[in-house]
Homo-oligomer: A and B are copies of this chain.
């Protein structure tokens, strides 16, 4: 049974396209409308059956939607939501997929102080890959993926419940928290690992790449991600990332120090503690 009549997805890249495919596979809406500024991308999204209808205009796409999903790069989200809110019908809900939440939710709530007829709930489905574009979209991208949904003092509780149910219906493991708690969590679990991967790839002389084996490939895979997308994310979560950097450097430097001192048992202990944490992800799937 369809939970929504119309869902509008603004931005039909990897994430937006995958959400469209998942909505259609699970029949959560009668119609999915894709909004994007480039016609060619919309054509691709239609070909991939990620959306049912396409439009280049936000006003046109959102006017009859019950649910509007902003699936564009972080820094564009508040602007896009502002435009969408102007044209949304009464009772519509808006959410997003941005990887930082404090900055986005704060910017959007500024706009929404004047708009009482629609609700905004911040979301961050933690799925993706180093690839960009609807051609990489998959209906199962969100299955079993963590999805953080944010609550603030101004959050409409009924809308929060609906958005949680929506992501759960797509197969995601939803957790509700405040935007600052989200930003802290993802700084260590996502943003900093990306910076470390970019750092490792950036530091390797090109001629050494010939000897890159699986270890290097996996450790640096996310360094193939879109630089502009990630610069947006990093710059909107600066404070937490710098704190996460300190935690990482502390552990990393302890390992290097144990190595430089030739201290075998200290080195083994530091690696063991790290392995114990990483192993939890193997067994607790």
Q: List 25 A-B contacts (CB under 8 A).
A: A195-B255, A196-B219, A199-B249, A199-B274, A200-B251, A202-B273, A203-B244, A203-B248, A204-B277, A209-B280, A209-B281, A215-B222, A216-B281, A218-B219, A219-B219, A220-B278, A223-B271, A223-B274, A223-B275, A223-B277, A224-B279, A225-B275, A227-B275, A238-B259, A245-B256
Q: Is the CB–CB distance between A211 and B193 below 8 Å?
A: no
A59 within 8 A of B: no
* A176 vs chain B, min Cβ distance (A): 13
* A174 vs chain B, min Cβ distance (A): 11
- A contacts with B: majority SS: helix
Residue-wise interface mask of A (147-167) relative to B, using a CB-CB cutoff of 8 A (1 in contact, 0 not): 010000000000000000000
A234 within 8 A of B: yes
3 A-B pairs closest in CB distance: A199-B252, A202-B274, A227-B271
A185 within 8 A of B: yes
Q: Is the CB–CB distance between A211 and B227 below 8 Å?
A: no
Q: Is the CB–CB distance between A204 and B220 below 8 Å?
A: no
- A274 is contacted by which of B198, B245, B252, B256 (Cβ under 8 Å)? B198
**Cα–Cα distance between A277 and B235 once the two chains are bound (Å):** 23
Which of A50-58, A63-71, A87-95, A124-132 sits within the interface?
A124-132
A221 within 8 A of B: yes
Copies in the complex: 2
Q: Is the CB–CB distance between B267 and A235 below 8 Å?
A: yes
* A113 vs chain B, min Cβ distance (A): 26
Q: Is the CB–CB distance between A128 and B215 below 8 Å?
A: yes
